[in-house]
Structure 1
Amino acid sequence: MSFIARMASASVLRRLTQRADEAEKIITELKATIELLKDKAAVVESKPEEERLRQENANLRTEIDALKIQLVLTEVRNGVKQVALPSQEAIARCVDKSRSQVTSSAPVVDKKVEVVQKTDDVKDQQKSKKKGKDAVNSEAKPKKGKVANAGPVEPEKMDVSRLDLRVGKIVEVEKHPDADTLYIEKVDVGEEQPRTVVSGLVKHVSLEEMKGRVAVFMLNLKPAKMRGVLSQAMIMCASSPEKVEILIVPKGAQIGDKVVVEGYSGEPDAVLNPKKKVWETLKPDLRTNSDGVATWKSAPLKVEGKGLIVAPSLRDVQIQ
């Protein structure tokens, strides 16, 4: 059913419900009027009026029944499941049966209450004994989480080696259908399947320049949807308020090569935990230096044995 049809059905349903409510209200008022007329039955002039009201009441009931039928049909057409209600006689039979069962089982209930009370007394005694034992044990045993003579806890390592930076190649690229500033790229980083990457580079890098581009990608950011497309990595760029440039990898770098930083070794996180703010903590120290070399705390980023990572022209700017 089209949107307009659904809207029309909803409108019809509202009108039918409103008319049914109004009809019920009129019936209530008419009943009150009829009762008043009955009290004045001695007055001959009231009889024709009473008969007219009776007839009008019957007509209204007929109209209400028709409205209810239309309401049910409309609900069925809109997929509303209909549930048959039990009759008044069936309800009365159930109530009578329940009363007879309650009356016949009253002594059993009393016995159950007595048993429950005794059981509760036993449980209370057991709890008090257990509390006494726990108090003794708590004095004898050290508290959980505390180790006697434990040394100082080492702080969590927070350096650039936790970032999974690798060389990758854009094998497919297109503009995002729902965002004018975004590209959707398929990137080969040496894995079995290319990764999908969403980048906000439309205003800074042309589509032709993106095709076949070899660059540095961060692979262990937590995947996130960008305008409905799941991005599985991030392309690393030098960035200023006026300009954004994709970082250049050294000649001879191969797809899947790791990008490392001198003086910082270790295995990167499988996925950076957003709650620990690892990327947010490390990001401010990722910059290009005065020679355009990508660095972290002044230590250069490089592909081992092949050369440094550099920016085309931006100097002393943030890398992100």
Structure 2
Amino acid sequence: MENSDGLFNPSLASTLKKLDPENGEQILDYFQTHALLARDKALLQSSVRDQKKLLVENSKLKKDIEQLRTQLQDKQRRRTYRPLFSPPKTPSFTPTTPANQLVSPTGQTDGSLMAPPPHSSQVKESGRRRGQRKACLGPEPVPLEAEPRIDVSRLDLRVGRIRRVRRHPMSTMQSVQEVDVGESAPRTIVSRLAETTNFEELQGALVVLLCNIKACRQRGVISQARLLFCFSSDTTELLVPPSGSTPGDRVTFLNYPGEPDRELQSKQRIWELLQPHLQVDSRGVANYKGSRFEVKGKGLCRSRTLTSCGIR
């Protein structure tokens, strides 16, 4: 029978080996692989309802954000064009008649007969007043641009296979891996593995990598990607993609279908903002805010033994 870890009872395993010593282990591996696939399928089916609810909530939030944006734009327009609708100032008249006005033959006074022509300084002042009135209109409204999304879809997560592992030549706490990610040449990665890690067991293992970080030099070796680890207070282990994955397979998220950045900009600190939300649930499945790490058609990414822990 299968236990909670996806492995078969030792007594059943020993029985299979006795019945078929040559192919017993292969049969057991075959059963274990199909048991894990069946369990992943059940997890995916159980999460469809929750994922639909999240999609509905996301659409509502988008509508609310659009309404708030239009309200802000309307307020900004009113604030900018308010001086246009202010009432004009009426000139004040004195009841007395100026002494320089003459009386016309019809008995009406005409101030234009004796009024001197406007001086050039008065013309300049009127021009300045017009310029000042234009300046009072204020600056043109600045269009509100949509804020860039900050979610896990901006991370380029791929499946890789470790081809070679060796100690860092200048650091006893670090190691250097050459990982095949489906490209023309393997990527060199500098990471910190546990002291008890067996390098021979890591060769040929499937791992999950963050591939769109900026390459950086670490103690003389250029690191071109980042290995994802599951970690608790005193234990660290590699995040494992589903069996049957091949190097270069994308790790996607059902609720976050966007395309990843070509390269994460260090000034935006995208990885630092997203990393606290990368978790392993109580079943050992990796997720981001409830949306699971998935390789389409092949299954879910999970931890080997850790549960309810973080990912870095």
Shorter-chain TM-score bucket reads: 0.5 to 0.7
- Partner of residue 306 from structure 1, selected from 298, 305, 308: 298
Check if 1:229 corresponds to 2:187.
no
SS at match of 1:280: helix
CA distance in 1, matches of 2:224, 2:133: 50
SS at match of 1:259: coil
Counterpart code for 1:290:
S
Partner of 2:176: 184
| Superposition deviation, residue 241 in structure 1 | 2.4
Check if 1:209 corresponds to 2:201.
yes
SS at match of 1:274: coil
SS at match of 1:284: helix
Change (3 A) 1:158 1:252: same
Name the one with the larger helix percent.
1
CA distance in 1, matches of 2:132, 2:263: 42
Counterpart code for 1:222:
K
Partner of 2:211: 219
CA distance in 1, matches of 2:205, 2:261: 26
| Superposition deviation, residue 222 in structure 1 | 1.3
Change (3 A) 1:138 1:232: farther
Runs in 1 of length 4+ with deviation above 3 angstroms? Answer: 135-140
Partner of 1:199: 191
| Structure 2: tracts of 5 or more residues without a match | 1-126
Partner of 1:110: none
> Aligned Cα RMSD in Å?
2.5
| Superposition deviation, residue 204 in structure 1 | 4.9
Whether contact under 8 Å (1:262, 1:299) holds in the other structure is yes
Whether contact under 8 Å (1:294, 1:300) holds in the other structure is yes
CA distance in 1, matches of 2:212, 2:254: 20
- Partner of residue 267 from structure 2, selected from 268, 275, 288: 275
CA deviations 1:134-164 (Å, max 9, x no partner) are x969958x98xx754x653322100000000
CA deviations 1:192-239 (Å, max 9, x no partner) are 111110010042522112211111000011111111111000111101
Counterpart code for 1:197:
I
CA distance in 2, matches of 1:136, 1:222: 51
- Partner of residue 160 from structure 1, selected from 141, 148, 152: 152
- Partner of residue 309 from structure 2, selected from 291, 295, 317: 317
| Structure 1 length-normalised TM | 0.54
Change (3 A) 1:291 1:136: same
Whether contact under 8 Å (2:157, 2:250) holds in the other structure is yes
CA distance in 2, matches of 1:234, 1:136: 60
CA deviations 1:93-135 (Å, max 9, x no partner) are xxxxxxxxxxxxxxxxxxxxxxxxxxxxxxxxxxxxxxx99x9
Whether contact under 8 Å (2:228, 2:239) holds in the other structure is yes
**Pairwise mapping of residues 133-144 of structure 1 onto structure 2 (< 5 A)?**
139=134
Partner of 2:252: 260
Check if 1:251 corresponds to 2:251.
no
**Pairwise mapping of residues 96-111 of structure 1 onto structure 2 (< 5 A)?**
none
Check if 1:295 corresponds to 2:291.
no
| Superposition deviation, residue 298 in structure 1 | 1.6
Identity over the aligned pairs, expressed in percent?
39
CA distance in 1, matches of 2:271, 2:297: 26
Counterpart code for 2:158:
R
| Superposition deviation, residue 284 in structure 1 | 0.2
Counterpart code for 1:274:
S
CA distance in 1, matches of 2:282, 2:215: 33
Partner of 2:161: 169
Counterpart code for 2:244:
G
Whether contact under 8 Å (1:204, 1:243) holds in the other structure is no
Partner of 1:284: 276
Whether contact under 8 Å (2:194, 2:236) holds in the other structure is no
| Structure 1: tracts of 5 or more residues without a match | 1-131
Change (3 A) 1:314 1:138: farther
CA distance in 1, matches of 2:133, 2:262: 40
| Superposition deviation, residue 171 in structure 1 | 1.1
Change (3 A) 1:278 1:212: same
Corresponding pairs, count = 185
